[in-house]
Amino acid sequence: MPFQIRSATAALVVATSVVTLLVQALDRTGYSAIYGGFIPARLSGADLPEGFSALPAWLTPLSCTFLHAGVFHLGMNMLMLGFTGKESERVVGPAGLIILYVVGAYASAFAQWAMEPMEVIPMVGASGAASAIVGAYSLYYRRAGAKRVRAIGPIPASVVHILWLAVGWTLINLLMWWALLGEGMQIAAAAHVGGFLAGLILARPLLWWRWRNA
């Protein structure tokens, strides 16, 4: 019997939580951010300071999703990932959810790099990848969501629903930034936008792919 992942969402939440909590327990948050965090300047060809080592730059858009600045940062991201991921996985299946997550991770990193190509502060957290899932979720459940909101002028209720989700997710990330301000963390706004747009773009192709191979 071939091995099957029963829940990609649960696997991502557990793996991310274990890695982050282990790093926290070992008091290696700063080191791990340099080693596995996404540093835009590295993608632009900049070298790390002497004495520092890190994963290959091309791998860090994914590795940074398993690292967080603190337990609150982790909890908020896993809460959103757990809810929207579970519901989106019902639609596209475990493989589709993983594709959505990985593409979202890279899309968010490249969006942040495009805005700040020489930034040296590491980007950590799953919010960029989770933003892709939030974006896809907003399309998969737009009809149900549209029943709870009203159209605004020429803007249909389904679009208003998507916009409300985007605004809500942005506010959650602003709350995380405010709570972790003392940790030197800054909000990667471009990464959230890039991930969300990737989710909107991938939603329909993944839906088609899932049912074509059903």
**Residue 60 falls inside a structural domain:** yes
Separation between Cα atoms, residue 60 and residue 37, nearest integer Å: 6
For the chain, the first-to-last Cα distance in angstroms comes to 18
Please give the residue that has the higher pLDDT: either 101 or 139. 101
Residue 152 phi/psi, 5-degree rounding, is -115, 100
Total of domains in the chain: 1
Q: Is the pLDDT of residue 191 over 70?
A: yes
What's the mean pLDDT in 144-162? 54
Secondary structure of the chain in HEC code, one letter for each residue: CCCCCCCHHHHHHHHHHHHHHHHHHCCCHHHHHHHHCECHHHHCCCCCCCCCCCCCHHHHHHHHHHCCCCHHHHHHHHHHHHHHHHHHHHHHHHHHHHHHHHHHHHHHHHHHHHHCCCCCCCECCCHHHHHHHHHHHHHHCHHHHHCCCCCECCECHHHHHHHHHHHHHHHHHHHHHHHCHHHCCCCCHHHHHHHHHHHHHHHHHHHHHHHHCC
Percentage of residues in the chain with pLDDT exceeding 90? 45
Q: Is the pLDDT of residue 152 over 60?
A: no
Q: Tell me, what's the pLDDT at 126?
A: 93
What's the mean pLDDT in 110-133? 92
In order of 40, 41, 113, 136, 185, the CA distances from 116 in angstroms are 7, 8, 5, 26, 16
Q: Is the pLDDT of residue 33 over 70?
A: yes
Q: Is the pLDDT of residue 173 over 90?
A: no
Q: Is the pLDDT of residue 158 over 70?
A: no
**Residue 71 falls inside a structural domain:** yes
**Residue 1 falls inside a structural domain:** no
**Residue 13 falls inside a structural domain:** yes
pLDDT digits (tens, 9 = 90+) for 71-111: 888 998 999 899 899 989 999 999 999 999 999 999 999 99
Q: Is the pLDDT of residue 169 over 90?
A: no
Q: Which of 2-11, 57-66, 196-205 has the lowest mean pLDDT?
A: 2-11
What CATH number is given to the structural domain containing 81? Answer: 1.20.1540.10
Please give the residue that has the higher pLDDT: either 72 or 16. 16
Q: Tell me, what's the pLDDT at 74?
A: 92
**Residue 93 falls inside a structural domain:** yes
**Residue 137 falls inside a structural domain:** yes
Q: Range of 133's domain?
A: 8-212
Q: Which of 74, 76, 72, 94 is nearest to 85 (CA)?
A: 94
**Residue 2 falls inside a structural domain:** no
Percentage of residues in the chain with pLDDT exceeding 70? 74
Q: Is the pLDDT of residue 145 over 70?
A: no
**Residue 104 falls inside a structural domain:** yes
